[in-house]
Structure 1
Amino acid sequence: MDNTDEIAIPKWVSFTKEWHTKPYPDISPSRRGLSATGKNVVITGGGTGIGKAVAIAFGQAGARSVSILGRRLDRLKSSVIAISAAAQSHTEVLYRTVDLTDRAQVEDALASITSAVGKVDIFVNNAGALPPLKPVAKYDAATFMRAFEMNVLTSLNAIQAFLPLAGADPILLNISTNLAHIKPMLGMSAYASSKAGQLKMVEHFAAENPELHVVSIQPGVIATEIAGPDSNVQGQDEVELPGHFCVWLASAEAKFLKGKFVWANWDVRELLQRKEEIRDSRLLTVGLAGVAM
């Protein structure tokens, strides 16, 4: 197993009765209750795929500014054009080229953004990489550990740099993966292990900084450039779904999900119907089944 064409995607189990594969009115950025007016938003990996969709959605929701970070200048410039075309007229769109494995570059990029628009209100930790698919027993150690550099180190640099530049009521949306909590999928060991480590790191970050509103997200199964240019993997969900879902997660309506792990496919009305139960329990957190600790 050396390519994404060989991934066997299981049948998902949903927390809500209704399952979404595309945007719907309850999470629309144009909904008055979901307005991002006055908010400064920063998205890592905003040049393509999910990050680009999230940036467009916050622009549509009327954010004061939307800033994207990424390595590839051509992708960032293309994304800025798309965000600007979709955003409300007052939304300022910025980009910075940055290698997220380099802490100094991340700090410089965020300092430049905040000097232009002010403190960061919503930070979307989205950037990541999909390493080669191999069984654990056949994995080259250096390649395996490269996954942790691309998925854990990049997130560490991003959230550490974000914290001192955060606004008064900061929100951190962590784009994770279901592989961090489902049973193993063959060949996905390096990606799943690194994303599980990233998730646990973000959980500690949230516990150590209770003023932060942190939510982790399974964004859906979406065909993006993370799978490589030659991948034949077919997406199950429209890329706009996690974009719109993130706008809803950053709204006052979703405050009860602080510290939780949610899937973009789940129906928000059903989640709201169970608001108190979810907020006051260990529901939608990652742990050991049957042991409440």
Structure 2
Amino acid sequence: MSDFIKSLPSWAGTTFTKKTNSQVPPILDPTKVTLPKPFVAIVTGSSRGIGSGIAKCFAQAGATGLILTARTQGSCAKTEDECRRVSPHPSSLKISTFYGDNGDEAHATAIASLIETEHDGKLNLLVNNAGFLLVDGTAFEKVADINCPNIEAMTQTCYVGRFYMTKHLMPYLLSGAPDKLRAIANISSVGGHVSGPLGYSISCLATNRLSQRVDESYADQGLCCYAVHPGAVWSDGPKEYLPPRMKDFSNDSQDLCGSFLVWLCKERRQWLSGRYVDATWDVEELVQREGEIVEGDKLKMRMVV
């Protein structure tokens, strides 16, 4: 954990468990997990970084179907090859790729059609990962000095696009047998709790609330929905215009989030649904605190009065 993360106040949640991880611990090893068959997952923004790591971890755990999305045509090829390489059953792993703008509703409806035609309408897991931190260096300035795309483009991709995907893929998540695993993992960030790039912070906070609302709407149908901080990871290295305090932000493995999500979604964890969780948290301690979390209705967004 970086010094910047350690310096955050307790209500940022980074130290909710006494022990935290920067690398994948043995208990989260996805190769030790066998997912039920079939198990189909879609990972948006999976051409690199955290998204690529998530896709790879579910391949390692035996997913039978993966849908990889990204903005740039052909950019998921490396992730696809890696998923086939690490899968315990590569010949039975169906991988589809789709390219487009995550902030466009037509992108979500086209993916819904792809699920229907290429995966027989089956879907167990939606990972809403596609997003970005900022458009330019004014993202960190005072409100009147922020260039508008840092708000407009950010919220369109990182929040509205996630709503589109959730809305249009929901029928496939809800279909099937009552005991089918069905979940949504919305990649959020500690940035939703602390001061940072305004557009990014707003999107993360909205993502947390979206996750809570989905749980309120569909928990009775067996759907779990989580908002997940993936750890501190720069997909392409820190940008030159980042404030000095954030240059040391990233020192977590890009595979940590994927391994955590395999643990989170390999079974129905209704007690964490609708809540904000952190991939760096120690899962053994987290499980021990289930009663405290449920009884105190912790890890949710609300005003303290």
Q: TM-score range by the shorter chain?
A: 0.7 to 0.9
Specify the alignment match of 2:189 in structure 1: 177
User: Separation in 2 of the partners of 1:207 and 1:255?
Assistant: 11
Q: Does 1:75 align with 2:75?
A: yes
Q: Distance in 2 between matches of 1:44 and 1:267?
A: 26
Counterpart secondary structure, 1:35? coil
Matching of residue 246 in structure 1 with residue 258 in structure 2: no
Distance in structure 2 (CA, Å) of the matches to 1:122 and 1:193: 25
Pair 1:117-2:119 in alignment: yes
* Matching of residues 207-286 of structure 1 within 5 Å: 207-210=216-219, 211=221, 212-225=223-236, 233=247, 235-252=250-267, 254-286=269-301
Preserved CA contact (<8 Å) 1:217 1:264:
yes
Q: Equivalent of 2:302, from 267, 287, 293?
A: 287
Looking at structure 2, the residues matched to 18 and 202 of structure 1 have their Cα atoms a distance apart, in angstroms, of: 25
Residues 270 and 88 of structure 1: is their aligned pair in 2 closer, same or farther, counting only changes over 3 Å? same
| TM-aligned CA deviation for residue 10 of structure 1 | 5.6
Residue of structure 2 equivalent to 1:147: 154
Query: Which runs of structure 2 are paired with 1:23-172 in the superposition (5 Å)?
Result: 23-32=24-33, 35-89=35-89, 90-118=92-120, 119-131=122-134, 132=136, 133=139, 134-166=141-173, 167-168=175-176, 169=180, 170-172=182-184
TM-score, length-scaled by structure 2: 0.84
**In structure 1, what is the Cα distance between the partners aligned to 2:149 and 2:22?**
36
Deviation at 1:41, TM superposition (A): 0.6
Instruction: Give the deviation of 1:102 after TM superposition.
Output: 1.8
Q: Is the 8 A contact 2:207 2:227 kept in 1?
A: no
Structure 2: gaps of 5 or more residues: 9-13
Q: Distance in 2 between matches of 1:148 and 1:283?
A: 26
Residues 205-242 of structure 1, C-alpha deviation per residue, up to 9 Å, x if partnerless? 33222322101111100121496699794521011100
Partner Cα distance (2:5, 2:94) in 1? 39
Q: Which moved more, 1:18-27 or 1:192-201?
A: 192-201
> Residue in 2 aligned with 1:4?
none
> Do 2:40 and 2:123's aligned partners in 1 also have CA atoms closer than 8 Å?
yes
Distance in 2 (alpha carbons) for counterparts of 1:228 and 1:114: 39
Alpha-carbon distance in 1 for matches of 2:36, 2:29: 12
Cα–Cα, structure 1 residues 224 and 230, in superposed 2: closer, same or farther, change >3 Å?
farther
1:151 offset after TM fit, Å? 1.2
CA distance, structure 2, for counterparts of residue 45 and residue 172 of structure 1: 15
Report how many residues are paired. Answer: 279
- Tell me by how many angstroms 1:115 deviates: 2.1
Deviation for aligned residue 1:142: 4.5
Gaps of 5+ in 1: 1-7
Note if contact 1:248-1:254 (Cα within 8 Å) is conserved in structure 2.
no
CA contact (8 A) 1:36 1:58 kept: no
Q: Cα 1:122–1:242, aligned 2, differ >3 Å: closer, same or farther?
A: same
Kindly provide the CA deviation profile for residues 61-108 of structure 1, in whole angstroms up to 9, marking residues without a partner as x. Answer: 001111111111232112111111111223222211122222122211
One-letter code of the match for 1:11? Answer: S
Q: Is the 8 A contact 1:122 1:171 kept in 2?
A: yes
AA of the residue aligned to 1:125: N
* Stretch deviating more after TM superposition (16-25 or 253-262): 253-262
Return the letter of the residue paired with 1:18. Answer: K
Q: Decide which moves more: 265-274 or 219-228.
A: 219-228
**2:152 partner amino acid:** M
Runs of 4+ in 1 over 3 A off after TM superposition: 225-234
> Once superposed, what is the RMSD of the aligned Cα atoms?
2.3
SS of the aligned residue for 1:75 comes to: coil
Deviations 1:147-197 (A, max 9, x none): 21121121111111111221444200110011112x324xx2221122212
Q: Which amino acid aligns with 2:117?
A: S
Within 2, Cα distance between the matches of 1:229 and 1:69? 27
Classify the secondary structure of the residue corresponding to 1:256.
helix
Matched residue of 2:76: which SS? helix
Normalising by structure 1, report the TM-score: 0.87
Distance in 1 (CA, whole Å) between partners of 2:157 and 2:147 is: 16
